[in-house]
Amino acid sequence: MLLKNVRLSYPHIFRPDKYDKNDPDEVAKYSAMLIMRKNHPQKAELNEAIKATMDEKWGGKKPSGVKICIRDGAEKADKDGFGDDVVFFNTSNETRPTVIDRDKSPLVESDGRPYAGCYVDATIDFWAQDNQWGKRVNAALTGIQFRADGDALGGGRPASADEFEDLSDDDAEEVSKETEDFMS
């Protein structure tokens, strides 16, 4: 499923990470949390994809106690970017997702985007889990496309060159003297 114009949070899309860094048996995964408004235009499509995943796994019967990956933003209302008007879900994958820019060119971590708080399009695959850890519908992250800037969450974006002054015309001796005075 291609989910358009969602907000990115907690991105671990360039290097895999562990949820519990003290667990030597846990497999590091690429992951991201996706946040969307409750009135998002693809909300019905998202619900249908989840229902289809359950139908495929459990033959059209929703087993009791099954957990769905989509959660209410009110659960994290104390966190930046969450609240009563959004839903969110975690996505992960052991395989690195495709990460591209608006023009479909590949992005790397040093590009500074995508970052926590920006808007992305994301490709996800839903899958059903039925094992000793319970019955769930989970989301696997397969790709991210940077869509638009947004307010960075938790300082999740590097500074842009536009945020600094142009010092190329400053006298180097004067700058050195100012630095010395500041340091003493």
CA 111 to chain centre: 16
At 136, give phi and psi (nearest 5°): -150, 160
Q: What is the number of H-type helices and E-type strands within the chain?
A: 2, 8
Whether 13 shows a pLDDT value over 90: the answer reads yes
Residue 134, amino acid:
G
* Residues 20-65 pLDDT 10s: 888 888 899 999 999 999 999 999 999 999 999 999 999 877 788 8
Torsion of CA 85, 90, 96, 99, to 10 degrees: 0
Domain spanning 2-183, CATH architecture: Beta Barrel (2.40)
Per-residue pLDDT, 183? 54
If 0-12 CB within 10 Å is exposed, 13-18 middle and 19+ buried, where does residue 165 land? exposed
Whole-angstrom Cα distance, residue 46 to residue 3? Answer: 8
**Domain residue spans of the chain:** 2-183
Q: Is the pTM higher than 0.85?
A: no
